[in-house]
Structure 1
Amino acid sequence: MAGTIRSMMDAAIPFEESPKLTQFAHGGGCGCKIAPGLLREILARAPQGLVPPELMVGTETADDAAVYRLNATQALVATTDFFTPIVDDPYDFGRIAATNALSDIYAMGGTPILALALVGMPIAKLAPEVIGRVLEGGASVCREAGIPIAGGHSIDVLEPIYGLVGLGLVHPDRVRRNADAQAGDVLVLGKPLGVGVLSAALKKGQLDGAGYAEMLRHTTQLNRVGAALGQMDGVHAMTDVTGFGLAGHLLEICRGSGLSAQVELASLPLIGSAVQWAREGVATGASGRNWAAYGSDVDWPADAPEWQRTLCTDPQTSGGLLVSCAASAAPAVLQAFQSSGFAQAAVVGRMQACEHDRGSRLAFA
C-alpha cells in the first residue's frame, strides 16, 4: 500500500491550499451509513453464498463481525468499517475511524491482532500532508490497541474515506453475539449518547472547543473492555452502538434473540452538551432516517420530548458497547466498564419475552 499512497500524494495540491475535509462529505462518520430499512432491503436481494460449518457468525443477525472457528481454542474475528470525515482535522479523523473499526472486534468479545487500512482520497484536492496525517491518526490508535497496520488498499475518489479491516481472535466458547440475549437480562450501556448531535453542531460551525474535545474524547476511546466482558459467564450478548443509534442496534439484539426490550429514558447516559444542542433542535439527517426505518417497532411515550428521541436515534460514531447480561452479573459488568475509564456506564433497561403476536419490539419509558 505504501507505494500507492506515495503516488497519490505526489499528485495532490499544496498543503496550505487544502480545503476542509468535511466539505467533501455529504454525511460524516457513522451518520453516512445506509439507512437500516434500505440496507435490509438490499441484503434481502443478495444471494446466499457458501456457509461452511466453521462459520460461527455470518450475516444472519446483522452482527458486528464475522467469526470463523479455527480450532478448539481459537476463532478468527473479521470486520471492516470505514466512513467519510466527521471532523476537519485529518489526524483526528484517522483516530476516530480506526477506533470505530476496532470496536466491532471488541463487541464480539475478541482481541484485535492486526489491521489493514482502507483509504480513498480526492488526490487532486488534498495535500500529501493531509493524507499522511489521516494515516498517522489511524496508526496511533492501532499502536494503542497493540496491533500493526499490516497493509491495505487505496483509491482516488471524490469523498475522503478512511477505515480499517480488523482481524482478531476469541475463544469459540466466548464469542458474544448480538443474538444471545436472554429474557430477564439487564442492559448496560458503556458510553453516553450524543456524538451525532455534536457532529451536526460542528458541521454548522456552532461547536466550541470544549464541545469538540468532549466529542473527541468519546470517539477515540477504545472499547477494549469488550475482551474482558466476553470472559464473564453472565454476559450473554454484546453489540456496539453506531450508525443506527441506540434504538436501532438494540432492536437488532431483540430480533436476533427473539425478545423485546424496555429502556428507561431517565437512566440513559448522555453527553451534557449534546443534550443542550438537541433541545435546540440540532440533529443529523441520519437520526430522522433511522426513525423512519424502525420507528414502527418502537413504543415511544407520548409525553417524551422530541430531543430525547433524537438522542435515542442519534448515529453514534465509535459509540459504546451495549451489553445484555444476567442481573446478577450487572455489578461486575459496571465495575469492568468503570475501571476501564467508562465513567458514565449505566444500566439502562432490560430484555423480556415478546408480547403475544407482537414480535420483537422496543419500548421506552
Structure 2
Amino acid sequence: GRIAATNAISDVYAMGGTPIMALALVGMPIAVLSVQTIGKILEGGASVCRAAGIPIAGGHTIDSVEPIYGLVVMGLMHPARVKRNASSRVGDRLILGKPLGVGVMSAALKKDKLDAAGYAQMMQVTTQLNTPGPALAALDGVHAMTDVTGFALAGHVLEMARGASCTVQIDWSKVPFLSGVRALAEQGCITGASGRNWAAYGHEVCLPTDFSAVDQALLTDPQTSGGLLVSCAPAAVNRVLEVFARFGFDDAADIGEVMPPIANVKLQVR
C-alpha cells in the first residue's frame, strides 16, 4: 500500500505540482486474504497520503482474483511552472533523484535472495515521496522533469530525448545504484520487463563496446516509485542538487547531458 501510494502521487510531483486529494481503487480476493491483511494494505496507502498532506476522498472497491491497490491523484500547479518531459534544451544536464535497482531487488526478493538490509533499503527508496518536485519546478533553469518508473532509466531518458528532438548522453559511471544491486543482477536477479524494455527501444540506444549484459539489464531495470529526472541548465545544477539534499535525497546525481541530435541515436551511454 505504501509503495503504490508513493508511486501514484509521484506523477503530480514530477510535473511540479502539489497533490491535493486522492481516490482509491481497491480490488481484493476477499475469500483468500484476511481482513487484517487487507486493512494493512489500505492503512499503508493512507499513511503515505497523510505524509503528503492529502485525504483519500473516496474511491471504488471490488472483489478480484488478485490484490489490486492504486490511487488516482489530483494536484495543483502554477501554469507557468508546469514541467513536462518534452522540453529539454541542448546543453542541459540531467539530474537523477533516486538510486536505481528496485526491479533487481524485487526479483531477488521473489527468489529469496534479498537479505534484510537489502529489503529495508528497497522499502526506504520506494516509499520516499518525490516532494522536491514543486521546489525544483520553481527554479530558474529547470526545463523538464519526469520520474523514472517502469520503462527504466533508458526508457524515460528516451522520452525526454524524443520530445526535445535531441540525443542524451549518459555517463554510466555517475549513475547511482542501491547497494548490492550489481551483485544481485550478476546472480540472475533480473526481471522479465528488463528484456521487454530493451526489445521495445534498444534500436535507439548506442552502448559502449565493453557494456556488459548486466549493465544493459541495469540500464533497462524497471523502477517502482523511482526518482525524479530533471533536465536543467548547467548553471542550475548546484541549486537542483541543493533542493534534493534539503528534502533528504542525498544520492541525487548529475548523470548526463542533452546534446544535438545524432542520426538514429536518442540515447548514448559512455
Q: Give TM-score, length-normalised by structure 1.
A: 0.73
Contact 2:205–2:265 (8 Å) recurs in 1 = no
Contact 1:255–1:360 (8 Å) recurs in 2 = no
Q: CA deviation at 1:280?
A: 2.1
Partner of 1:134 in structure 2?
A: 41
Partner of 2:67 in structure 1?
A: 160
Aligned residues: 270
Q: Please point out which of 150, 160, 165 is paired with 1:243.
A: 150
Partner of 1:96 in structure 2?
A: 3
Partner of 2:138 in structure 1?
A: 231
Contact 1:118–1:164 (8 Å) recurs in 2 = yes
Whether 2:36 is the aligned partner of 1:151: answer: no
The separation in 1 between residues aligned to 2:192 and 2:42, in whole angstroms, is 28
Identity over the aligned pairs, expressed in percent? 61
Contact 1:258–1:360 (8 Å) recurs in 2 = no
User: Where do 5+ consecutive residues of structure 1 fail to align?
Assistant: 1-93
Q: Please point out which of 168, 171, 187 is paired with 2:94.
A: 187
More RCO (CA 8 Å, sep 6+): 2
Q: CA deviation at 1:123?
A: 1.5
Q: Please point out which of 207, 210, 214 is paired with 1:307.
A: 214
The separation in 2 between residues aligned to 1:274 and 1:95, in whole angstroms, is 22
The separation in 2 between residues aligned to 1:290 and 1:233, in whole angstroms, is 33
Q: Please point out which of 253, 257, 264 is paired with 1:350.
A: 257
The separation in 1 between residues aligned to 2:88 and 2:264, in whole angstroms, is 15
**3-state DSSP class of the match of 1:272?**
coil
| Structure with max Cα Rg | 1
Large movers: runs of 4+ above 3 Å: none
**3-state DSSP class of the match of 1:338?**
helix
Identify if the C-alpha distance between structure 1 residues 128 and 143 changes in structure 2 by more than 3 Å, giving closer, same or farther: same
Q: CA deviation at 1:122?
A: 1.3
The separation in 2 between residues aligned to 1:312 and 1:343, in whole angstroms, is 21
Partner of 1:364 in structure 2?
A: 269
Q: Give TM-score, length-normalised by structure 2.
A: 0.98
**3-state DSSP class of the match of 2:181?**
helix
The separation in 2 between residues aligned to 1:244 and 1:145, in whole angstroms, is 25
Q: CA deviation at 1:359?
A: 4.8
Contact 1:239–1:249 (8 Å) recurs in 2 = yes
Whether 2:124 is the aligned partner of 1:217: answer: yes
The separation in 1 between residues aligned to 2:187 and 2:176, in whole angstroms, is 19
